[in-house]
Amino acid sequence: MKYILMMSATKAGVGTYHTWSPKDAEAHMECLRTIVKELTDFGEFVATPERAYAIAGRISAAPGPGGVPTNMAMEVRRLAMPPAHGENSPGQSD
């Protein structure tokens, strides 16, 4: 299985980003870029729920104004994947 991580915020919450100082916004984005670079450099697809939640926790803890973690809500969802060759879809029999 593979998992997708989605940031989840209200319109009001997203609007607060515009009030962050340039230094705070850059620190936040640098943290997110570091996480993306690590995943890309290792060619990692998030393949276990435990790993997906660990990465989501790191993203949620990215610094906000004054370096305080944003505690952004994150969603972890399993990607729908076609059955592997020779396997049946759920509910399908030979």
Each domain of the chain, given as residue ranges in start order, spans 3-9+20-78
Residue 14 has pLDDT above 70, yes or no: no
User: pTM for the full model?
Assistant: 0.74
The answer, yes or no, to whether residue 67 has pLDDT greater than 80, is: yes
34-51 pLDDT tens trace = 999 998 998 887 788 899
Return the amino acid letter for 75.
E
Q: What is the pLDDT of residue 13?
A: 63
What are the helix (H) ranges across 1-94? 11-15, 22-41, 49-60
